[in-house]
Amino acid sequence: MPLLQLISPLFLPPPGQVWQKLIAIAGPQGFMDATLWQHLAASLTRIVIALLAAVLLGVPVGIAMGLSPTVRGILDPLIELYRPVPPLAYLPLMVIWFGIGETSKILLIYLAIFAPVAMSALAGVKSAQQVRIRAAQALGASRAQVLWLVILPGALPEILTGLRIGLGVGWSTLVAAELIAATRGLGFMVQSAGEFLATDVVLAGIAVIAIIAFLLELGLRALQRRLTPWHGEVQ
């Protein structure tokens, strides 16, 4: 037994055993009728679809709220109403409305990501320097040119920050959503391993979840530095 025979490998397997199990489930043996890569692909597919939907809808909504007090007065209370509620609280409702398929899981992740993205876009528009906006207008720029050439570049750092926050919330929501009514995914793999007391698979799955979250964060930070280098200099 590891740790001076104080803890059984059933509860805390040694790192070597966890590593060997990780290699095994990554190969043809897999776990629960799927390899590690298939579980990972299922999770990444869900998070990517939800993220794209949240960006395509959340950014325009946030910009519209920042530019129009009327739109903000209508949408801001609705977003602030559902934003504090934990996303998993909506899971039973999503299952009732959309069943136990992919739609309910993706929609739940989308709801978790949408609010941070929309509110960050709003904050970015509000932080845009009015001097630059007035200067562009004085030079004859149209409203569309002001939006694309002045407001959006100024709001981009906040939007990317909201994207990082939303992706973190969405990833944790994804793993939790897969604990219920899923047949593939990292969360499903960890839960199923726990039911069979396969602690080595549980620890391997947790390690993969943490590594993927870390890599996603690093990727978004690199993207933020690439697209908004001036923001990093200010900070």
The mean per-residue pLDDT over the stretch 12-31 comes to 87
C-beta separation of 193 from 208 below 8 A: no
CATH architecture assignment, domain 2-234: Orthogonal Bundle (1.10)
> Where do the H-state alpha helices sit in the chain?
2-5, 15-26, 36-67, 69-82, 91-98, 102-127, 130-138, 143-146, 152-177, 186-195, 199-227, 229-234
Task: List, for residues 2-16, the tens digit of each pLDDT value.
Answer: 444 567 766 778 888
Angle at 163 between CA 189 and CA 205, to 5 degrees: 15
Domain boundaries defined on the chain: 2-234
Q: For position 231, what pLDDT does the model report?
A: 64
Lowest mean pLDDT among 25-29, 72-76, 141-145, 162-166: 141-145
pLDDT greater at residue 202 or residue 129: 202
pLDDT band (50, 70, 90) for residue 84 = confident
Q: What is the pTM of this model?
A: 0.84
Q: For position 2, what pLDDT does the model report?
A: 47
Task: List, for residues 132-153, the tens digit of each pLDDT value.
Answer: 777 777 777 777 777 787 778 8
Neighbours of 15 (CB within 10 A): 11
